[in-house]
């Protein structure tokens, strides 16, 4: 396997316009960095970027960490930039077409993908709540913390890499995925205070390996990082005294 490009957090952040309190594609409390060109504007959230480098693999001339600015959408067509942005699994990158080209659209089928050593990636019509039931994010892509240590829970902030989180992301127990039905097509992430994540809505779920692809409308996922049945919850959050409160404010840019 070709190793991923060396990706550093040392990036020219571009302009940082103040975000409305609840803007689609922008997490509550976050501010995005904007890179505008005549045909397309790319936005980036540092706090939601986990450096999987899908954008760099897709268009290294456009997305080049270490360059100033690190995003230069003039180096490819707007269509190519849009395709590369939509490869970002976390929703850290988004685009807005100003040339009349097609806007971003959510995947037709909601998907939940558990990644090896990392977060859970969601695609589709996503709504993420906080522990009090308030919406913090509406998006088409998102990464959800599995290690239990993110400072922006329930969203992933890449802390799993720093702490050496380990999990093979194998989906084994099909009985954990239920199908009680769903009121609408939204993939809704509802955290339980000091407990697991409940995901509802129509979805497919799979791990990183060759395991089955499961379909359902409800699943309860571990977010303390300690379940012996990961990615599913087994009640370990009570044993380890998991606390779901954020330990730091989301990045607001610089």
| Helix residue spans in the chain (DSSP H) | 54-58, 78-85, 159-163, 236-240
Q: Which ranges of the chain have pLDDT less than 70?
A: 1-22, 246-254
The confidence score (pLDDT) of residue 22 equals 57
The confidence score (pLDDT) of residue 2 equals 46
Cα–Cα distance for residue pair 250/235, rounded to 1 Å: 28
| pLDDT tens digits, one per residue of 227-248 | 999 999 999 999 999 999 864 4
Cα–Cα distance for residue pair 189/147, rounded to 1 Å: 16
Cα–Cα distance for residue pair 52/33, rounded to 1 Å: 18
* CB-based contacts of 125, cutoff 8 Å, min separation 6: 106, 110, 140, 185, 186, 187, 201
In the chain, domain spans: 1-104, 111-240
Q: Is the pTM of this model over 0.85?
A: yes
The confidence score (pLDDT) of residue 15 equals 54
Cα–Cα distance for residue pair 140/187, rounded to 1 Å: 10
The confidence score (pLDDT) of residue 229 equals 94
Q: How far is CA 134 from CA 30, 141, 142, 143, 181, in A?
A: 15, 19, 17, 18, 22
Neighbours of 7 (CB within 10 A): 18
The confidence score (pLDDT) of residue 12 equals 58
């Amino acid at each position: 396997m070709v190793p991923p490009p060396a990706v550093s957090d040392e990036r020219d952040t571009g302009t940082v316009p103040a975000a409305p309190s609840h803007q689609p594609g922008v997490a509550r409390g976050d501010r995005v960095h904007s890179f505008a060109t005549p045909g397309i504007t790319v936005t980036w959230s540092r706090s939601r970027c986990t450096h999987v480098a899908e954008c760099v693999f897709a268009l290294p001339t456009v997305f080049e960490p270490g360059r100033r600015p690190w995003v230069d959408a003039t180096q490819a067509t707007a269509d190519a930039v849009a395709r590369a942005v939509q490869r970002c699994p976390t929703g850290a990158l988004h685009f807005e077409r100003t040339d009349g080209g097609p806007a971003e659209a959510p995947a037709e089928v909601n998907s939940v993908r558990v990644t090896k050593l990392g977060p859970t990636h969601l695609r589709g019509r996503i709504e993420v709540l906080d522990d009090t039931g308030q919406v913090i994010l509406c998006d088409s892509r998102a990464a959800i913390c599995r290690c239990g240590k993110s400072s922006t829970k329930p969203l992933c902030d890449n802390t799993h890499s720093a702490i050496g989180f380990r999990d093979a992301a194998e989906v084994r127990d099909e009985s954990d995925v239920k199908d009680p039905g769903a009121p609408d097509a939204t993939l809704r992430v509802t955290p339980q205070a000091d407990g697991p994540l409940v995901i509802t809505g129509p979805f497919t779920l799979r791990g990183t390996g060759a395991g089955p692809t499961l379909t359902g409308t409800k699943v309860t996922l571990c977010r303390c990082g300690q379940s012996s049945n990961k990615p599913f919850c087994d009640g370990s959050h009570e044993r380890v005294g998991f606390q779901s409160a954020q330990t730091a404010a989301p990045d607001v840019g610089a």
